[in-house]
Each structure stands twice: as structure tokens, then as C-alpha cells.
């Protein structure tokens, strides 16, 4: 069976539009609209409720991500194995977000949000596999398009617009839910994945029986001596994610309750995301080519996480507009470098090249897990010691994440 290969002219635009279309609306709703709606419904318990939604979201996301990937791998249709799940997930996500906009109590909102988490991962898991459609010599280019440009646009570009709808957050759920569906649909149409119905007969071929044993389980993940660098990259991703999302997950409350920006809250959020968007796009365009020319990969990825630690420290020390700008510069540079190159670094340290899709999926799941546990950790320290403590969390986790990346041995620099 020949591997499906799609030209870069179709694949690269889709790898930018696709992740931007699902990640952007999710980030806006998770960091702005959901906290705003929770505050509207139950203000006294808002911090604990954000943590609850994040914990439940992590559980649902982790399970649905693995299920979606498995179902996608075993799908045969005239539209290919990825497209049906991406489009179906996008449509269900849109309906769930419209449902969230109509909720006036916490239980109903929690149900709508969990349905949205499941639907979201039925988009994400198959879409990451699009990178495998790239021609053999251009996989790094495809990975950079997905992570460097698509993720940068998703992480920062939409918050600029989302902040404009902060006072009409119920409408925001509807607008961004619809946008997520339309954007992912456009990406699917651009990729135009070929039919794979001819693969279905392979399922009828006799299968070699595998007996259940501890050895079978233990071979799913290699031991530390073999997979050391991969595990360090995964740990680094988890710590980097917690360090980043500990602040971004509570950015609305940090602006209102810690920095006391008042009427300047909306403009401050727009300023941060505007600066981070510009730097993210610049890194998406230039970080990959420069890294290829200078033959460096580990150092920019490792230091990108340390830049996030510096950003958290700056915002804590300088609680004014200057501090906000410096924070955005360091965070934008850090996230821009990270999004552009971390997927490539992961590809370099995968311990079993015959299971690239599996290890990529586990690595990308680290992003979902860190987004979910970061508000839990941050919410706990905020409840115990106030908003000042969240910057210590961000600094510590980001710093450890960078150290893990710089400790990788198989990638020299």
C-alpha cells in the first residue's frame, strides 16, 4: 500500500488554517468567555469553578483524543480517514458552544463545555496526522506550518478580536463556535484527502494473534535508557505548558483583581495578544529557516521556555503598562520559538521511528494536559496565597521545562 502524499501547495495552507481555526476559538473561549460566564453565574466561586472545568476538561480531552485517533486510523471512506472526523468534530463543537451561550447555571454549562472538549479532540487528533501527508523531505516544513504559524495565530491572533466581544461573551461563544467549524471545513476542502476505500479489504486479512502479557504492555513505551530524550522533551512540554497557561488561563482575573486595570482591562489584553501575535508570526516565518542554516534546534527550544519564566517575573515586578509590554515581548518571543520548533525537536528524539504517529499523538496530548492542570495548580495557589503566587508557579515550571529541553543529548545544539 502506497503512502498518501499531498502537495505542499495544498497541505501548507491547510496546516496553517486548520489549527488556527480550532485553537483560536478554543483559547478565546477558555481564557475569556468561559471565565466571564462563570463569573456571571457564580462570582464567589469563580476561581474554584475554573479549576473544576479545567480538571474535567483534561479527563474528557485525554480520553477523546486517544479514541479519536484510533477511530481515525480505522476509517475508510470516499473522503479519506481524517476528513470525516475533523468535519464532524467541528460541527459538534459549534453546536456545543452555541449551547454554552444559552446556559444560565453551572451544571448545564459544564455539560456543554465537556461535549465541546470531546468534539474539539475529534478535530485535533486526526488533524495532527495531516503532517504525515507531507512529502518525505518536507515534513519539518509541514510541522513548522502547523506549529509555527497555525498555532501562533490560534494562540494569540483571536484574542485580539475576542477581547472586543468580552462584554458580549454569550454572543462570543456563538461567533467563535461558528468560525471554528467554517475554518476547519475550509482546511479540509483545501487538503482534499483522497479516498481510502481500497484499504478496507486489508482489515479482512488474517491477523497474527498477540497474547496479553506484561511484556506487551511494557513495550508500548520504551524504558528510560532508550527513550530518555523523548521523555525529557515530553516533561519539558508539560512544564512549559503549565508555566504558560498558569498565567494565560487567569489573564482576565490577573488584569482585574491583581493589576487593577479596570477600564483598561480590554485594551491591556489586546496589547499583550497583539505583540505576541506579531512575534509569533515572525518566528513562524524565520525561526525554522534560521535554525536550519545555523544547525541549531535544542538551544532555541530550551531558551524559549526560559523566556516565559522571565516574562512571568517581569509582570510580577512591574505591575504597570511597561511591565505588560515587556511581559508580552518575552512571552511572544518564547512562544514564537516554541511553536515553530518544538514539534521538530520531538521528531528528532522519537525512540521508535516505526511508531511516529503514536509518539506524536502522546506528545501533543501533553499540550491538552498542561492546559487542563495549569488552572488547577494556579487556582490552588491563588486560593491559598493570592494572585502573586501564580507568577512563582509560572516562573518555576517554565524554568524546569527549559532545563529539561537543554538536557537532551541526542540533539547537540
* Burial bucket for residue 66 (CB in 10 Å: 0-12, 13-18, 19+): middle
Q: Are 58 and 368 in contact (CB under 8 A)?
A: yes
CB-hemisphere CA count at 13 Å for 314? 17
| Homologous superfamily of 224-413 | MFS general substrate transporter like domains (1.20.1250.20)
CATH 1.20.1250.20 in the chain, residues? 7-196, 224-413
Note the pLDDT of residue 355.
61
Q: Are 327 and 311 in contact (CB under 8 A)?
A: yes
* C-alpha grid cell, residue 21: 481555526
Note the pLDDT of residue 379.
83
Note the pLDDT of residue 305.
92
Q: Are 407 and 324 in contact (CB under 8 A)?
A: no
Right CATH for 7-196 from 2.60.120.380, 1.20.1250.20, 3.30.300.30, 1.10.260.40: 1.20.1250.20
Contacts of 126 (CB under 8 A, 6+ apart): 68, 69, 72, 81, 82, 83, 85, 86, 89
Closest CA to 300 of 144, 413, 156, 411: 413
Distances 31 to 50, 236, 311, 372 between C-alpha atoms, Å: 10, 23, 18, 12
CB-hemisphere CA count at 13 Å for 30? 30
Q: Are 174 and 369 in contact (CB under 8 A)?
A: no
Contacts of 193 (CB under 8 A, 6+ apart): 4, 6, 79, 80, 81, 82, 83, 133
* C-alpha grid cell, residue 151: 498555532
* C-alpha grid cell, residue 75: 476509517
Helices H / strands E in the chain, number of each = 17, 0
Note the pLDDT of residue 210.
44
Q: Tell me the per-residue pLDDT of 345-362, one tens digit each, with 9 for 90 and over.
A: 877 787 876 565 567 667
Spans of the chain below 70 pLDDT: 1-2, 137, 140, 156, 199-220, 353-358, 360-361
Residue 245 is inside which H or E element, if any? helix 224-248
Note the pLDDT of residue 209.
46
Predicted structure pTM score: 0.70
Residue for grid cell 496589547: 271
Note the pLDDT of residue 175.
93
Note the pLDDT of residue 176.
93
Amino acid at each position: 500500500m502506497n503512502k498518501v502524499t499531498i502537495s505542499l501547495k495544498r497541505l501548507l495552507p491547510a496546516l496553517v488554517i486548520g489549527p488556527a481555526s480550532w485553537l483560536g476559538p478554543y483559547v478565546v473561549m477558555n481564557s475569556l468567555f468561559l471565565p466571564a460566564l462563570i463569573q456571571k453565574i457564580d462570582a464567589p466561586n469563580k476561581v474554584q469553578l475554573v479549576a473544576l472545568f479545567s480538571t474535567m476538561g483534561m479527563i474528557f480531552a485525554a480520553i477523546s483524543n486517544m479514541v479519536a485517533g484510533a477511530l481515525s486510523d480505522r476509517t475508510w471512506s470516499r473522503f479519506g480517514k481524517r476528513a470525516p472526523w475533523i468535519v464532524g468534530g467541528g460541527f459538534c463543537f459549534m453546536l456545543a458552544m452555541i449551547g454554552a451561550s444559552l446556559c444560565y447555571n453551572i451544571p448545564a454549562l459544564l455539560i456543554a463545555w465537556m461535549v465541546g472538549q470531546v468534539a474539539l479532540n475529534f478535530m485535533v487528533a486526526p488533524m495532527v496526522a495531516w503532517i504525515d501527508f507531507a512529502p518525505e523531505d518536507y515534513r519539518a516544513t509541514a510541522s513548522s506550518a502547523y506549529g509555527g504559524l497555525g498555532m501562533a495565530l490560534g494562540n494569540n491572533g483571536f484574542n485580539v478580536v475576542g477581547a472586543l466581544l468580552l462584554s458580549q461573551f454569550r454572543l462570543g461563544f456563538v461567533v467563535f463556535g461558528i468560525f471554528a467549524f467554517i475554518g476547519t471545513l475550509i482546511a479540509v476542502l483545501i487538503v482534499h484527502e483522497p479516498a481510502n476505500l481500497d484499504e478496507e479489504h486489508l482489515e479482512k486479512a488474517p491477523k497474527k494473534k498477540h497474547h496479553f502479557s506484561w511484556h506487551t504492555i511494557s513495550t508500548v513505551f520504551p524504558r528510560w535508557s532508550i527513550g530518555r530524550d523523548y521523555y525529557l522533551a515530553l516533561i519539558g512540554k508539560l512544564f512549559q505548558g503549565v508555566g504558560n497557561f498558569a498565567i494565560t488561563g487567569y489573564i482576565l482575573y490577573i488584569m482585574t483583581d491583581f493589576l487593577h486595570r479596570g477600564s483598561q482591562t480590554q485594551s491591556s489584553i489586546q496589547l499583550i495578544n497583539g505583540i505576541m501575535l506579531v512575534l509569533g508570526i515572525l518566528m513562524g516565518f524565520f525561526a525554522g529557516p534560521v535554525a536550519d542554516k545555523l544547525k541549531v534546534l535544542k538551544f532555541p527550544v530550551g531558551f524559549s521556555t526560559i523566556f516565559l519564566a522571565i516574562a512571568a517575573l517581569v509582570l510580577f515586578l512591574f505591575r504597570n503598562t511597561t511591565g505588560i509590554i515587556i511581559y508580552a515581548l518575552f512571552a511572544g518571543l518564547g512562544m514564537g520559538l516554541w511553536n515553530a520548533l518544538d514539534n521538530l525537536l520531538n521528531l528528532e528524539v522519537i525512540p521508535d521511528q516505526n511508531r511516529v504517529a503514536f509518539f506524536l499523538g502522546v506528545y501533543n496530548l501533553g499540550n491538552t494536559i498542561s492546559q487542563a492542570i495549569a488552572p488547577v495548580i494556579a487556582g490552588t495557589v491563588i486560593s491559598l496565597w493570592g494572585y502573586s503566587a501564580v507568577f512563582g508557579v509560572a516562573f518555576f515550571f517554565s524554568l524546569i521545562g527549559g532545563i529539561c529541553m537543554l538536557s537532551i543529548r541526542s540533539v547537540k545544539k
